[in-house]
A and B are shown apart, each in its own frame.
Chain A
Amino acid sequence: MTVEDLSPVMRQAYESLSTVEQKEDFLEQYNAMRQQMTRSAIAQVISRNLSHGIGKHVIAKGN
């Protein structure tokens, strides 16, 4: 990911940094975090197959 791909909020944070090194570190860390978030979210989305139980909040409303 490059600076052009950053969301407005992240872009603002990036622009507020003063040195090239800080900006490079920021991008590196952001990419690592994003990759980690992506993989984590994927793991959750992937673990979805046909299965449906019934939970306590619905049972409480039904009674």
Chain B
Amino acid sequence: MTELIDFQRKAREKFSLENKANSFTDPLLFLYSLDWDISAGPQFSEDVLAIMNVNLDERGCFGRAVKAAVLSTELFPSSKIFSAEVCEDFFRAMLINDATASNWRDPTYIAEILQYENPHQVIICDGRQFDPLFKDLMGWPQELKHPVVLIQDLWAGLHCSYLVSEALLDKTNNPQACISQLYRALSLYPSNILVKENLAALHASYNDFSKATFFAREVLKFRKDAKTLFFLWILTNDEAYKRQIIAQYNPAMFNYLNSVL
């Protein structure tokens, strides 16, 4: 398990700038002035993502968040910088609020909503959110924000995400090591959502449905998430979860999940 101090060293080795001079006084404007590598194609597989994240690859939101953390703390030491897990995503809310009957008949529209419910991490600079995806969408990204985020200590939040990816590298060949590391991450960072989500999934894959249900319910306390509702419907056979999907989204969302999962 990579300790916090080693993770921080790795992050700084990768992203520190030799020349720290810049003309910005606002870390958010500085970060938005940079070019960010945003993927627009198919999502990466879990295996690939875990490797990308432990390599702090900027093609993933984790690598971008770590880079933003290093740069903002080095160049703007007096700013208050935090990390945050997105609980309700701006793009998800936009798609659901604007959905027409025609949209709900379009499986690509539903798949895109689900994409924005995937775990996501952003950086908070002096109370304002930095998400490079906002830059791709509009000319004034500093004005945008995800409606609900769970704010964490900057390096604690990032370290926990790193530990989850590190654990997932062991999932196939050494599942016991994987689950042990997830529990160690949970003990260090008990409020983190991502670690609970992965514990839910891992316990379910070993047919420990009571623990899987417990952690999935924990995730739902914080994040709006149709897949977790569906997951709980299957695990518990409780029709209330199905009703929640239909009420919070549309019957088409349930039908879509039922057909593809």
A57 B112 Cβ-Cβ under 8 A: yes
B230 A41 Cβ-Cβ under 8 A: yes
A44 at interface (Cβ–Cβ under 8 A)?
yes
What mask results when residues 97 to 127 of chain B are scored 1 for a CB within 8 Å of chain A, else 0? 0100001000011001001101111000000
Q: Which of B91, B237, B239 contacts A58 (CB 8 A)?
A: B91
Residue of A nearest to B60 (CB): A51
Q: Which of A47, A48, A58 contacts B94 (CB 8 A)?
A: A58
> Which residues of B have CB within 8 Å of A51?
43-44, 49, 52, 60-62, 118-119
Query: How many residue pairs at the A-B interface have CB separations less than 8 Å?
Result: 124
B204 A62 Cβ-Cβ under 8 A: no
> Which residues of A have CB within 8 Å of B164?
49
A–B Cβ pairs within 8 angstroms, 20 of them: A37-B261, A38-B204, A38-B235, A41-B261, A45-B228, A46-B201, A48-B201, A49-B46, A50-B60, A50-B121, A51-B49, A51-B61, A52-B116, A52-B118, A52-B133, A53-B39, A53-B40, A53-B133, A61-B98, A62-B138
> Which residues of A have CB within 8 Å of B121?
50
B interface, size bucket: 35 or more
A interface, size bucket: 20 to 34
What mask results when residues 4 to 34 of chain A are scored 1 for a CB within 8 Å of chain B, else 0? 0111100000000000000000000000001
Q: Which of B49, B137, B227, B235 contacts A54 (CB 8 A)?
A: B137
B168 A45 Cβ-Cβ under 8 A: no
B218 at interface (Cβ–Cβ under 8 A)?
no
Tell me the dominant secondary structure on chain B's binding face.
Answer: helix
> Which residues of B have CB within 8 Å of A49?
46, 49-50, 53, 119, 164-165, 168, 194, 198
Cα–Cα, bound, A39→B202 (Å): 11
A34 B94 Cβ-Cβ under 8 A: no
Residues of B within 8 A of A (CB): 38-41, 43-46, 49-50, 52-53, 60-62, 91, 94-95, 98, 103, 108-109, 112, 115-116, 118-121, 133, 136-138, 161, 164-165, 168, 194, 197-198, 200-202, 204-205, 227-228, 230-231, 234-235, 237, 239, 260-261
> Which residues of B have CB within 8 Å of A37?
234, 261
Cα–Cα, bound, A41→B132 (Å): 30
A48 B119 Cβ-Cβ under 8 A: yes
In the A-B complex, list the 6 residue pairs whose CB atoms are closest, starting with the nearest.
Answer: A46-B201, A62-B137, A47-B46, A55-B112, A50-B62, A53-B39
Shortest distance between the CB of A26 and any CB in chain B (Å):
15
